Amino acid sequence: MAKFKVLVTDHISQDGIDILRADSDIQVDIMAGIKNAELKKIIGEYDAIITRSGTTVDAELIENPGKLKIIGRAGVGLDNVDIEAASMKGIIVMNAPTGNTLAACELTMGMMLSVVRKIPTANQITKAGEWDRKRFMGIQLYKKTLAVIGLGRIGGNVAKRCRAFEMKVVAFDPYIKKSRAESLGVELCDTLEEAIAQADVITFHTPLTDETKNLITSKEIAKMKDGVVIINCARGGIVNELDLVEACKSGKVAAAGLDVFVTEPPVNHPFFDVDNIYVTPHIGANTHEGQYGVAVIIAEQVKNALHGRSYRNAVNIPFMKSQLPEEMQKYFELMESMGHLAAQVVKGRPESIEFTMVGPKFEEDFGERTFDTPFNFQPFSIAGLKGFMEVAVKENVSFINAPYVAKERSIDVLETKTHSYGKFNDLVVIKVKTDKEEKTLGGTVFNDGIGRILTYDNYYLDLIGEGTFLYFKNMDRPGMIGKLGTILGNNSINIADFELSRVDDGTAVGFVRVDNKIPADVVKEILALDGMIEAKTVTL
Ligand code: NAD
């Protein structure tokens, strides 16, 4: 029997399906067009689903996700997938952002030329038997200014092509580096207004987000040049539809070309009655090459992710451990293990967890975020949080959902960076506050590449966090360790390692690494020793 089941819920190119079917570990079922009510009943039987824009993957659909681990979108836009809901359930969401870039770019070019030369109307009229050349006086693109809003993959390619038309290209994109614009020969504007005010043609290539919804309304249109041309082949609603209709009717906007609508398919839409608005039915990605591209890419990615080989284009993994430098991967593992330990030794209900990264190694930002997330943590904090929540919550906690799991439980998560911490220059620290106490653990990675826990509250240690330990805290009196060792020996528990530390208040803590599990009654016996304050088994 196949190890993994994949459900394809939309029409995707056969080439992608063939890739999945060629893997004997994968069973592929195809139910293109399946309704959500039906899909909800069976979704939990699948390890992955692959969709295009036809399936709305919302919180309700994945309420009981069962085995579902991956949602693959054969395309770039993810507005039909509730990424936050998927993240909360620990489901990886991945898309195929590059497969149809050129298809969408070329439609934009086609749209721009069609609109400025009124090609669709000319075609219609000529075929209807009219020969009216005067009516088709167009606008030339040469030497005109194009504003590209969103200079990402598609926007960048449109910019390149328009430069070949010898247009001046300006752009507004607050999230890209100046050097990217420079390399494309594009002038980057500091504000949206600056870009749109000078443009003869404006084209939109941003995702649809809270920020870009209604990015252009009557207010912005008023700041544009009279007779401007507007193209939107990105997402419906970036340009307010009714405001655009008004502007096209008044002539403020000479013409508009739109491949996308707020509601698709549009029914009796006000665009339909306006001659200088040209529309297409969301066909940006519809080229043979584009469809082949997204299907093959998503199939390969889902296949690799199912086998745990790679998670390319996963949009809700805020980092890839494998992409961290080797030394930083050790810190990542150390943090996870410290989170584990903190959760096992702290008493009470957690109220807050603070992660501190100490030293120059942590100055760099290691968390590359490719999607809107309410969390902005470094991978090390997420590793620590996962380690902690896994023990504290005992449910399906992953690097994806750990911050959500903490949030759901009203645990405040804080992250700080600092130059030094006590006598340490390189350290990662976890401080947990509960309704009963506060516990702080610190650790580092030495040159031997091994992560060690060095501080436990005020105690100094040298603990390599791997294995099963007897953790204890006792009054620092002669004979305590002997008694403890005798109990372990009497119960045939072999001691592999011993780490002891004491402080001025007359207490000591110890971590005894043992070769075999310590039965609960043995721990009880140790705890009953006179002068013993705490004793329990911890696993790291
Ligand atoms: P991308 O992620 O490469 O680029 C998007 C760019 O928008 C990024 O550079 C980002 O920094 C920028 N951006 C985000 N918010 C912004 C804001 N508030 N103001 C200005 N810029 C902002 O994406 P892409 O692959 O180029 O796709 C762009 C859009 O095209 C997406 O909305 C996608 O869904 C759409 N698309 C449509 C079709 C179609 O069939 N019509 C096909 C493919 C893609």
- pLDDT of res. 320: 64
The residue from 38, 182, 264, 395 that is catalytic is: 264
Domains of the chain: 4-97+289-306 (3.40.50.720), 101-279 (3.40.50.720), 321-539 (3.30.1330.90)
Which residue's alpha carbon is nearest to atom 30 within ligand 1? 234
Q: At what angle do helices 101-117 and 153-164 cross, to 10 degrees?
A: 50
Q: Give the separation between CA 327 and CA 331, rounded to whole angstroms.
A: 7
Ligand 1 center to 153 CA (angstroms): 7
The ligand 1 site (C-beta within 6 Å) comprises 76-77, 97, 100-101, 104, 149-155, 172-176, 205-208, 211-212, 233-235, 259-260, 282, 284-285
| pTM recorded for the entire structure | 0.69
3-class DSSP assignment, residue 484: helix
- pLDDT of res. 271: 97
Q: Is 525 noted as a catalytic residue in this protein?
A: no
Among residues 64, 29, 63, the alpha carbon closest in space to that of 48 is found at 29
User: Token pair of 406, please?
Assistant: 């903490």
Ligand 1 center to 511 CA (angstroms): 53
Ligand 1 center to 183 CA (angstroms): 19
Q: CB neighbours of 289 closer than 8 A, spacing ≥ 6?
A: 102, 103
Ligand 1 center to 154 CA (angstroms): 7
Q: What is the C-alpha radius of gyration for the chain, rounded to an integer number of angstroms?
A: 30
Q: Yes or no: say if 351 and 413 are a contact pair by the CB < 8 Å rule.
A: no
The helix or strand, by DSSP H or E, that contains position 180, with its residue range, turns out to be: helix 178-183
Most informative mutation of 53, 154, 220, 232 for ligand 1 (most atoms within 8 A of CB): 154
Running DSSP on this structure, what letter comes out for residue 360?
G
Ligand 1 center to 289 CA (angstroms): 20
CA of 104, closest atom in ligand 1: 42
CA of 100, closest atom in ligand 1: 43
Cβ atoms within 10 A of the Cβ of 21, count?
14
Place of tokens 């009124």: 118
Sheet containing strand 451-456, edge to edge, reads 412-418, 350-358, 427-434, 438-445, 451-456, 459-463
Q: CB neighbours of 275 closer than 8 A, spacing ≥ 6?
A: 121
Q: Give the separation between CA 226 and CA 186, rounded to whole angstroms.
A: 23
Give Cα 440 distance to the centre of its chain.
30
The residue from 205, 235, 340, 513 that is catalytic is: 235
Please list the residues that pair with 165 across neighbouring strands: none
Q: Is 235 noted as a catalytic residue in this protein?
A: yes
Angle at 104 between CA 224 and CA 8, to 5 degrees: 135
The residue from 52, 161, 282, 513 that is catalytic is: 282
Q: Give the separation between CA 216 and CA 244, rounded to whole angstroms.
A: 9
Q: Give the separation between CA 507 and CA 51, rounded to whole angstroms.
A: 60
Ligand 1 center to 239 CA (angstroms): 14
- pLDDT of res. 317: 75
Which residue's alpha carbon is nearest to atom 4 within ligand 1? 152
CA of 286, closest atom in ligand 1: 40
Q: pLDDT of the chain along its 540 residues, tens only?
A: 889 999 999 999 999 999 999 999 999 999 999 999 999 999 999 999 999 988 999 999 999 999 999 999 999 888 899 988 898 888 999 989 888 999 999 999 999 999 999 999 999 999 999 999 999 999 999 999 999 999 999 999 999 999 999 999 999 998 777 888 999 999 999 999 999 999 999 999 998 888 899 999 999 999 999 999 999 999 999 999 999 999 999 999 999 999 999 999 999 999 999 999 999 999 999 999 999 999 999 999 999 999 988 777 787 876 666 678 888 999 999 999 999 999 999 998 889 999 999 999 998 877 655 445 566 788 899 999 999 998 877 666 778 778 878 887 888 999 999 998 888 889 999 999 999 999 999 999 998 999 999 999 999 999 998 899 999 999 998 888 899 999 999 999 999 988 999 998 999 999 999 988 899 999 999 999 999 999 999 998
| Largest interatomic CA distance in the chain | 109
Q: Is 84 noted as a catalytic residue in this protein?
A: no
Q: Give the separation between CA 236 and CA 214, rounded to whole angstroms.
A: 9
Long-range Cβ contact pairs of 179-186 (< 8 A, separation 24 or more): 180/151, 180/156, 181/151, 184/151, 184/156, 184/159, 184/160, 185/159, 185/160, 186/148, 186/151, 186/159
CA of 97, closest atom in ligand 1: 25
Phi, psi of 14 (to 5 degrees): -60, -30
Cβ atoms within 10 A of the Cβ of 374, count?
9
Q: CB neighbours of 354 closer than 8 A, spacing ≥ 6?
A: 413, 414, 415, 416, 429, 430, 431, 433
Long-range Cβ contact pairs of 104-107 (< 8 A, separation 24 or more): 104/154, 104/233, 104/284, 104/285, 104/290, 105/154, 105/157, 105/158, 105/161, 106/287, 107/233, 107/259, 107/280, 107/283, 107/284
- pLDDT of res. 394: 64
Ligand 1 center to 243 CA (angstroms): 22
Q: Give the separation between CA 246 and CA 221, rounded to whole angstroms.
A: 10
